[in-house]
Amino acid sequence: MKKHRTLILATKNKGKVREIKHVLKPLKLKVLSLLDLPKAPDIRENGRTFLANAVKKASIIAKKFRQVTLADDSGLEVKALRGQPGIRSARYAGANPTSRKLCMKLLRTMKNKKDRSARFVCTVAICGPGKRLKIIQGICKGMIIDRMLGSHGFGYDPVFMPEGYTKTFAQMPLKLKNRISHRGRALRKAKAYLARIIPS
CATH code of the domain occupying 3-197? 3.90.950.10
Q: Is 164 left (phi over 0), alpha (psi -120 to 50) or beta?
A: left
- 200 pLDDT band, cuts 50/70/90, is low
pTM of the model: 0.89
Which pLDDT tens digit goes with each residue over 151-175?
998 999 999 999 999 999 999 999 9
Choosing from 42, 73, 146, 157, the catalytic residue is: 73
- Is 73 marked active-site? yes
Which pLDDT tens digit goes with each residue over 74-94?
999 999 999 999 999 999 998
Cis peptide before 85 (omega within 30 of 0): yes
The domain locations on the chain are: 3-197
The pLDDT of residue 130 is above 80? no
List all residues 6 or more positions away from 96 whose beta carbon is below 8 Å from its beta carbon: none
